[in-house]
Structure 1
Amino acid sequence: MIPVFESWGMTPEWAWFVSTIAGILLIALPLMLAVAMVIYADRKIWAAMALRRGPNVVGPFGLLQSFADGLKVFLQETIIPSASNKGLFLIAPIVTFTVALMAWAVIPFNSGAVLADINVGLLYILAISSLGVYGVVVSGWASNSKYPFFSAMRAAAQMISYEVSIGFILICVVLWAGSFNMNAIIEAQRGHGLGIVNGFVFNLLLFPMWVMFLISSLAETARAPFDLTEAESELVAGYQTEYSSMSFALFWLGEYANVLLMCALNAILFFGGWLPPLDWAPLYWIPGWIWFFAKILFFFFVFSWVKATVPRYRYDQLLMRLGWKVFLPLSLVFVVLISGWLMATRYDPIGRREVVYGKITLCQHEFDQRLSVDLRLPQCPERETAR
C-alpha cells in the first residue's frame, strides 16, 4: 500500500503514515460491522436453542436489530453515579474497547494480508489480551458499588487463572511451529495431518492442547459457563451494572471483538488459518480469507452453542479447580512431552537442520550462516558433513 501512496507524490514518511491509518480503518470498520452481525447471530442461535424466533421485526429477518440497538444507546444519556470516580468511570470502557481492537493488528486474514507482520505476533497477542482485564477492574472500582467491585475481582482472578495455562499451550504450538510469527505458524500446518490435512489439531500431542485452549478461550472471554463476572442471579449485571448509553455499548463491542479474536486464534493456531482444510489443489482456488472467515464463524457457533446449553458452575468448581488443578498441570506436562518428542526424533521444527541417527542431512555451514544472521554472531567456518 505504501508504493501506491508514494506514486501519488507523498514522501515515504507520509506514505507510511497514511497507509498505516488506512490499514487500521480497513480492520476496525469491518470488525465493527462484523460485531454487529455476530450479536444478531448470537441472539438467533440462543433463540433456536430455546425454540423461539429471536429478532425478527427490525428489517428483513431482524437483520437490522443490532443497528437499531446501537442507535438507541447512542441517543441515550450517559448517567454517571454521583459517588463514582468520574474520570476512571468514563475511561474504563474506552480501555476495554481499544485493547480489543489492538490485538487484531497481527491477525493474518490471508497470505500477506496483515497490518503488522511481526516476528513476535503471538507474544504480542498474549500481552495485549492481558491488558483487557484492566478496563474491567477499573470499571468495577470506579463505580463505587459492591456488585461491580465483586465482578471486577472475579474477572481479575479468572484472567490470571487461565492465562497461565494459555501461555503454556501457546508454548507447545510455538515449539512445534518454530516461530512466534502468525503466518509462519499457519504455514507450518500445511499438510501436517497425514500429509493431506492442514492443521495442528490432527496431531495427537497437540489435540489435547486445542481442547484446553478452546475451553480457556471461553474463560478468557467470560462466556458461559465461565460468565462469573456477569452472573445475573448473583451480581445483577456485573461490572456493567452502573453503565448506560455508549459506555455500556463500548463494553459490549469490546466483549464481542474479544470473542471473535479467540475464534480467530483457534483457527490460526490449530486449524490452519487461511489454509483450506485439506492440502488439495482445487481447494486453493477459493481465496484464503474465505476459509479464514468460515472457520471463525464455525467457532463462533460453537461459542454460542455452549453458552445456550451449558449451565454456569459454582465459583470454586469451575474457576479455581479446573484452572489451577487441571489445566495448569496438564499444560506443563505437555510442554515437557512435546519438547522431549522433538528432541528424541532429532527434528528441528524451525527447518534449519534435521539429524537422523547422528547424520546431518543439511549442510552444517548453511545452518551456521542462518544461525549467525539470527543471533548476530560471527559466521562459523564450514565443517564437513557427518557421515
Structure 2
Amino acid sequence: MTYPDPAIFGHDPWWLILAKAVAVFAFLLLTVLVAILVERKLLGRMQMRYGPNRVGPWGLLQSAADGIKLALKEGLIPAGVDKPLYLLAPVISVITAIMAFAVIPLGPVVSVFGHQTPLQLTDLPVAVLYVLAITSIGVYGIVLAGWASGSTYPLLGGIRSSAQVVSYEIAMALSFAAVFLYAGTMSTSGIVAAQSHTWYAFLLLPSFAVYITAMVGETNRAPFDLPEAEGELVGGFHTEYSSLKFAMFFLAEYVNMTTVSALATTLFLGGWRAPWPLSLWDGANTGWLPVLWFVAKTWIFLFGFMWLRATLPRLRYDQFMALGWKLLIPVSLVWILTVAVLRAVHLDGVIPNLLAAAALLAVLLVANTLRRRGVERRTPPPSPPPDGSFPIPPLPGQAEEAAHA
C-alpha cells in the first residue's frame, strides 16, 4: 500500500496557499447557501407542501434573501448578558467549523499554473485527531452562548450541548479507531489511499453505522437537536441572539454538517476516488474530475441529514443519552476488539470474517435488548405515593425483589 508523500505538503508558494484557503472558504459558503435552499424545498416536498418559490426564479434566491434580511436586522444585546463572551461565542462556532475542513482532501495532486499541488489545504500525521480537537473547541461557542446570555433556557441548552458532545464524541472517536487500525495511519490523504480497492464502509460497517449516528448528534441536528429544542427551550442556546450573531450560529451548523459529511466520505467512502464501475476507467481518479466524486458523496450525507429532519421526531433527553452510552460506545469497543484481533492474526481484507463478526455482535445486542425488555415488562409498576407526599425512588434491590415476588 502506497501513501502520498508527506513532503509534498507545505512547499506551495504563498499565493497558492492563499488561493486554496479562499477556495475552501468559498466552497463551504456556497455549500451552505445551496444546502439551506435544498433543505427547505426537500422538506416541502416530503411534507406535501410547497417550498420556497417566490424569491427569484423557482425560489432560487431565497437563501440570499434570508442572508440579507438577517444582516439588516437590528443587533440587539439584552440587558444582563456577559457582553464579551456573548459576542465571542458565535465567532468561536464559525471559526472552528471552518478550520476543521483544512485537512480534508478534495482531490489528488493537480497542476495549478505549473505547480504540482494536492487539492488539500494541508495534511498532518494525526489529521483526523485534529478534526476531533477542533470540533471539541467548537462546542465552547454553544456553551458560552448559553452561559453568557444570562437566561434560563439558553443555559439549559448550553448544558445539554456539553453533555451531548462529550457523549457522542467518544463514540465518534471510537469509530475512527477501527479505521486507524486498518489504514495504518491517521493522515486523511493516507486513509483515502488505503481505500483504493475496497471502501471502509463495507469492511468496517459497524464503525460506519456508529459514525453516521454520532455525526448527527455531534451537529445538533434532528432528531438530536436537543440544545435548541424549541418545544421546551424556546430556541435553546441562541434564544437571545439576533441579526448577524444568530446568522453565524446558523452558518456554523451547516458548515459542521458539511465537515462531518466530508469526513465520512474521506474515512469510509474512499474520499475523492470514483465509485465502481467508474473506477474501472483509468482517467476517473486523475485531474480535477475527482472533485466531482467527492462533492457527490458529501451531498449524499447532507441529503441524509435533511431526510432525518423530515421524518423523525425529536428524542427525549434520556433516550438520547442512553443511545450514546448504552449502545454506541459498547458496540464500538467490542468492534474495535474484533478488528484488532483479526488484524493481529493477519486476516487482512477478509470481508466474510468481518461481516460474520458484525452479525454475531448484532445478534447478541438484539438478544440482550429483548431480555431486558422482558424483565421490564414483568416488573410491576410502583405504587402511587400517599396524598401530600413526594414520590421516593426505590432503593437498590427493591425493584428486583418486587419482580421475583
TM band (smaller chain): 0.7 to 0.9
Q: Which residue is 2:196 aligned to?
A: 190
| Residues 274, 284 of structure 2: 8 Å contact kept | no
Aligned partners of 2:282 and 2:89: how far apart in 1?
45
Spell out the pairing of 1:219-238 with structure 2 (5 A cutoff).
219-238=217-236
Q: Which residue is 1:278 aligned to?
A: 276
| Residues 36, 67 of structure 1: 8 Å contact kept | yes
Q: Which residue is 2:139 aligned to?
A: 133
Aligned partners of 1:181 and 1:126: how far apart in 2?
13
C-alpha offsets along residues 191-216 of structure 1, whole Å, 9 cap, x if unaligned? 12xxxxxx11111xx10111111011
Structure 1 unaligned residues grouped into runs of 5+: 1-11, 193-198, 349-387
C-alpha offsets along residues 78-135 of structure 1, whole Å, 9 cap, x if unaligned? 1001110111111100100000000010011001200012222111111111111100
Aligned partners of 2:242 and 2:19: how far apart in 1?
31
Aligned partners of 1:149 and 1:266: how far apart in 2?
31
Aligned partners of 1:307 and 1:32: how far apart in 2?
21
AA at the equivalent of 2:141: G
Q: Which residue, 67, 81, 91 being the options, matches 1:70?
A: 67
1:177 correspondence with 2:183: yes
Spell out the pairing of 1:98-113 with structure 2 (5 A cutoff).
98-111=95-108, 112-113=118-119
What CA RMSD, in Å, does the superposition of the two structures yield over aligned residues? Answer: 1.8
Q: Which residue, 6, 25, 28 being the options, matches 1:28?
A: 25
Aligned partners of 2:347 and 2:161: how far apart in 1?
43
Q: Which residue is 1:297 aligned to?
A: 299
| Residues 158, 237 of structure 2: 8 Å contact kept | yes
Aligned partners of 2:242 and 2:284: how far apart in 1?
47
Q: Which residue is 1:312 aligned to?
A: 314
Aligned partners of 1:216 and 1:123: how far apart in 2?
16
| Structure 1 stretch displaced more, 275-284 or 244-253 | 275-284
Q: Which residue is 2:151 aligned to?
A: 145
Aligned partners of 1:283 and 1:140: how far apart in 2?
52
- Deviation (angstroms), 1:284: 4.1
| Residues 100, 254 of structure 1: 8 Å contact kept | yes
TM-score by length of structure 1 reads: 0.82
Q: Which residue is 1:53 aligned to?
A: 50
AA at the equivalent of 1:253: L
- Deviation (angstroms), 1:164: 0.7
| Residues 142, 158 of structure 2: 8 Å contact kept | yes
AA at the equivalent of 1:118: L
AA at the equivalent of 2:80: A
- Deviation (angstroms), 1:282: 2.3
1:209 correspondence with 2:201: no
Q: What secondary structure does 1:52 align onto?
A: coil
Aligned partners of 1:277 and 1:344: how far apart in 2?
30
Aligned residues: 328
| Residues 28, 258 of structure 2: 8 Å contact kept | no
- Deviation (angstroms), 1:76: 1.3
Aligned partners of 1:30 and 1:158: how far apart in 2?
28
C-alpha offsets along residues 275-310 of structure 1, whole Å, 9 cap, x if unaligned? 111163227437111000001111111110011101
Aligned partners of 1:276 and 1:21: how far apart in 2?
28
Identity %: 42
Q: Which residue is 1:378 aligned to?
A: none
Aligned partners of 1:36 and 1:201: how far apart in 2?
29
TM-score by length of structure 2 reads: 0.78
